[in-house]
Every structure is written in C-alpha cells, then in structure tokens.
Amino acid sequence: MKNYFQDDYRESEMIGLFELVKDTSEGRTGIDAFLELEGNNIPFELKTTSKASVTTVRDFGPDHIEKWQGKHWLFGFYQGEYVYYKYGSPSMMAPWIEEKAEYIRPDFELADIISKKLTLYDLYQICGKKKVYSYHDARRIQKMQYKKDKYFERQDVKGGYSRNRMLEILSDRTKYLIERGSTLNNPHILASYFSGWEEITDNHARCLRDLVKQYLNE
C-alpha cells in the first residue's frame, strides 16, 4: 500500500508521473526538479499535502523569496483515495510570495538599521577595550556562524582583529540574531488560494506541459 504521508515518496512519485528530471547536484541548487521543454530546463518547486492547504518551509525569510522568484510550482493533493495535482506558474504564485515578503520586510530592515548603529562603546561593553582582539574573542561573539576559514580571513592586524573590524563582527552577529527572530515559521498556502486552478488527474505529463506552454506564450 502506498504511503501518501511521506513527502519524499510522494515527490518522487510526482517526478515520475509528470516526467520531470530530479536535481542531480544533491540539492545544492535548491531546485526540486526540472521540466525539460523545448530545449529548456524549467525549475520546479514540489509540494504535497494530505489536507486542503499546503505547508511550505520552516523559517521563511529573504533567501526563500529569492529562491522562489520565477519558479514554477507543482502541488500534489492526497485526499484519501482521491489524488489530484495543481500547477502554479510564477505569475500565479507571485501574489502569495509578495504578501509574505511584505510581512517580514520591516523586521529585516530593522535588523539592518540597528546593526549599523553599534559603536565602539557598545563593543567595549561586550568584549572589553583592547587594541587587538583575538580569534577566541571573535568566536565568543560569532560562535558557529562563521566557519573557521572566515574567522582567519577577517583578521586585519597581526594576531587578530582591530577594534573597527571587531565592531563589524559584532554588527554581523546583531543582524543575524534579529533576522533569526524575524523569519515566518512555516507559512501555509490556504485552500482558497488554489480556487479555480485546474485539477490534473490524468495525462499528467502532457497536461503539465500544455499549461507551462500556455504560461510561456502569454
């Protein structure tokens, strides 16, 4: 019996059913699958659900907005024995993405403004007043946010970091912490958003290609 409650299984099933091509770079591109159409590889985001609404991602932020710009979407709805799919073109998905982007925009702008207002006085309050700050001083602030190579790349004086460079590191950390609390947790695409969208129940591969061609020719 098919287990429709496992996202990986359902997405693999969609890839086969719609004759898509799975990303072979182990997910590094952030693309779930491609549709090969007339010599072009069209990027697709795949989502499945056993409900009428669709969950998206944890910690939705600017990276997701950038990732989803211009991307095509394919949704699988597993309603008991009734299974159907809906295609969302970039223009169909744009209003939802723009709405979520506007929701988080003020928080990320605030993070940028506040992080740039830190002064050397703030640095001294947190890290003490030194002529040169060490690797351990920097790591105490940034922790695991920087990789080890980046810590050494950011050193600008012999033995470590100048006061101004350390202030930049503190600013980076401040911005990161505020942005981390500004992401939107798992925004849903409500059932009403899909109202009027065509249901795909047979001839899946051909139907999807017809819909994509229709969008590209608009």
Closest CA to 179 of 98, 64, 61, 99: 61
Task: Kindly give, in sequence order, each residue whose CB lies less than 8 Å from that of residue 130, ignoring residues fewer than 6 positions away.
Answer: 137, 163
* Domain map (residue ranges) of the chain: 7-103+184-216, 109-180
Low-confidence residues of the chain: pLDDT under 70: 1-6, 25-29
Q: What gap in Å lies between CA 170 and CA 129, rounded to an integer?
A: 14
Q: What gap in Å lies between CA 102 and CA 167, rounded to an integer?
A: 30
Closest CA to 54 of 64, 43, 46: 46
Q: What gap in Å lies between CA 50 and CA 78, rounded to an integer?
A: 5
Contact assessment for residue 101 and residue 65, using Cβ atoms and an 8 Å cutoff: yes
- CATH 3.40.50.300 assigned to domain 7-103+184-216? The reply is no
Position 1 scores a pLDDT of 40
> Over the stretch 167-187, which tens digit does the pLDDT of each residue have?
999 999 999 999 888 888 889
**Bridge partners, 43 (sequence order):** 34
- Does pTM surpass 0.85? no
Position 5 scores a pLDDT of 46
Position 4 scores a pLDDT of 39
Position 6 scores a pLDDT of 58
Cα radius of gyration (the chain)? 23
Position 169 scores a pLDDT of 97
Position 27 scores a pLDDT of 52
Q: What gap in Å lies between CA 51 and CA 186, rounded to an integer?
A: 15
> Over the stretch 9-27, which tens digit does the pLDDT of each residue have?
888 899 999 999 987 764 5
